[in-house]
Chain A
C-alpha cells in the first residue's frame, strides 16, 4: 500500500517535470517566427549576404538548424546528461557552472532566514495561541497585517538606509570582493555574516510573522482536540500538556509550511538580492534578463522548477511518515 503510493507520487512528479520541461522549451519560441532570431548579432553595416552567413552560422552554433522536434529531442538528451545548455556570456560558460557558483550564496541567505524565522515564529506563535485574545495575540495580528502591506524590498531599503547609512552598523551594500576573497578562514566568514545581516533581517521580518500565524492557528486547533482535554482532565500541568501533547501535534502543519518554503529557498530572494546587490541566483537571473541571455534564463527557470518539484515530493512523502493518521490508500 505504502510503496505503491510512493511510486505513484514519484511518477507524478516526473510527469510534472516533463510538462514543465516542455513548456520551458517552448516559451522562448513564443511570439517569433524564427526561434533563432533572438540570438542573431546586431546587423551593423553588413550586407545581406554577409548577414545571411552570420545568421546561418548562429543557427548552427545554437542548434537551430534542425527541425523543432529534433531540437526538442536534443534538449531532452542534454538534460539527461544534466546539461542545461551554454550561456551567451563571454567565454561561453555552461549554465550549470554558473548556477553552481551562485547557488551557495543564495543558500547562505535563504537557509539562515528560514531557520531564524522558524525559531522566532514558533516562539511567538505558541505565545499568541496560549494568550489567545489578549494583547500578545492582538499584537501578532496587527503585525501580520502591517507586514503584508509593507513589501519586503521597502523594509530592506529602510533597513539599509537606517542601519547601513545612518548608524553604519552593517554594510548597506554587499562587499563586491566578498565572493572572490572567500577562503573559509574565520575572517572571511565574519565578512559574509556582516554583509548578510541586512538581507537576512529584511527577509526574516515577513517570515517570522508567517510562521507565527501558522503556529498559532495549528496550536489552537490542537488545543481543542479531545486528547488535550483528556490530558488536562488527568491533572497534568499546563507546561506538560503544552510540550508533550500540543506542540508535538501542532508541528505537522508547520512541517508542510516549511516544505513549501524550501521550494522557494533558491529563487525566492530576487528582489532582496537586487537591493543589496548580493551575488546569488536572483541577481544572476536579473543579469541574464538584462543581457537577453536566454539559455541562462531558461536554465535557471528549469532548475528552480525542478528543485520545487523535488522539494514538494520529499515533503509530501515525509508528511506521510510524520503523520501516522494519514492513511495512504485514501490519498489519490
Chain B
C-alpha cells in the first residue's frame, strides 16, 4: 500500500460524500433539511457563545416566570427563573450528541450484523436472526428503563442501550439486500478468484449497501432523538445535562400548565420538532435521490415502524425475502411503492 493510493482512496470517499451533499442540496426539500441540520449543529457547537444567560443558573429569584421579552426572548421558568432561550440552546447539545452518536454506532453494528447474516448464512444467519426475534418481543422502553436503573444513567450507558436494542431494524434491511447482492456476478467473480470471505464482505458487499446504511442512519438519528426526549421526560436521561425532554418534564412538574406558562412548554417542543424534522427530511430526500422510484410516503411509513417498535410485519417480510430473494430489492417498503404508477 503506497501512501498515494491511500490518499487517492480518501479523496474518492470525500468526493463521493461531497457529491451526495450536492445532490441533496439540489433537491429543494433536501436543501431545507441540510440548512436546518447545519444550523442545529452550529447552535450546539456555539452554545456557550450564543446563550445570553447561564442556563444552569438557578439563583435568579427575581426573574421567575417572565413572559417572552427582549431581555428573555423565550421567557424564564416559573420555579427557578432560568432563561429558557439559553436552556433551549444548550438542550440541542444532548439531542444531537445522543442522536448522531447512537445513529453512527448503530449503523456500524447493524451493517456488520446484516452483512454477516446475509453473506455467511447458515448458522451465523440463524443465530443473528434468532437474536433479532428475541429483541423484538422484549418491550424496548421498559427494557431501557430497567438497564439504566442497573447500569446508571450516564451519557455512555444511554447510547450503549440504544445501540444494543436498536440495531435489529437495520440488520434486517441490510440482510435482505445482501441476499440479493450475494448472487450478483461481481461477487461470484471475486469468490472464484479466491477472495476471502472478509475481503468480499468489506470490499464488495458493504459498498453495495452503503446507500441504505446512510439513509437509515439519518432516519435512526431522528427516531433516537424522539426516544431520548421521552427518556429524559421520564426523568431517566443524563441527570447532569439540560435536555429538551427534561425541560418539558420540569415544565409539567413546575406548574407551567397551571400558571399558563405556554412559552415554557412550546420552546422545548419546538426544539424537538425542529431537530427530528430536519433529520427526517434529509433521510426522506436521500431515499428519493438513491431510489427515484420510491415515493416519500414509504420512508415515512418505515419511520413509523421504527418508532412503534413493530415486530410482526418485519417477520413476515423477512419470511418473504427468504422465499423469493430475487424480487426483494427493497423488501422493507410496503409493496405499494413498487407498483405505484397510473391505476
Binding site for B on A (CB under 8 A): 16, 19-20, 23, 27-28, 30-31, 132, 141, 144-146, 148-151, 153-154, 157-158, 160-161, 164-166, 172, 209-210, 213-214, 216-218, 220-221, 223-224, 253, 256-257, 259-261, 263-264, 267-268, 270-271, 274-275, 285-286, 289, 292, 297-298, 300-301, 304-305, 308-309, 312, 315-316, 319, 330-332
Contact = CB atoms under 8 A, between A and B. Distances in A.
13 contacts: A20-B138, A141-B297, A144-B300, A145-B284, A146-B273, A149-B277, A210-B304, A218-B334, A220-B340, A271-B141, A271-B230, A312-B312, A316-B312
Contacts of A330: 323
Contacts of A221: 334-336, 338-339
Given A148-B280, A161-B262, A165-B257, 20 more contacts: A20-B134, A31-B151, A144-B304, A151-B230, A157-B269, A158-B265, A213-B300, A217-B297, A217-B298, A218-B335, A223-B343, A260-B308, A260-B312, A275-B252, A286-B234, A301-B138, A312-B137, A316-B315, A316-B316, A332-B319
B292 interface: no
Contacts of A267: 139, 141-142
A154 B248 CA distance: 8
Contacts of B311: 260, 263, 308, 312
A246 B265 CA distance: 44
Contact of B272 (A154, A259, A305): A154
B222 interface: yes
Interface of B: 130, 133-134, 137-139, 141-143, 145-147, 149-151, 222, 226, 229-230, 233-234, 236, 248, 251-252, 256-258, 260, 262, 265, 268-269, 272-273, 276-277, 280-281, 284, 296-298, 300-301, 303-304, 307-313, 315-316, 319, 322-323, 334-341, 343
A151 B272 contact: yes
B142 A304 contact: yes
A198 to B, nearest CB: 12
A157 B343 CA distance: 42
Contacts of B151: 30-31
Nearest to A228: B343
Contacts of B323: 330-331
Secondary structure of the A contact surface, majority rule: helix
Contacts of B137: 16, 20, 263, 305, 308-309, 312
A64 B93 CA distance: 43
Given A148-B280, A264-B309, A217 B336 contact: yes
Give the top 4 A-B pairs by smallest Cβ distance, nearest first.
A217-B336, A221-B336, A149-B276, A149-B277
Nearest to B138: A305
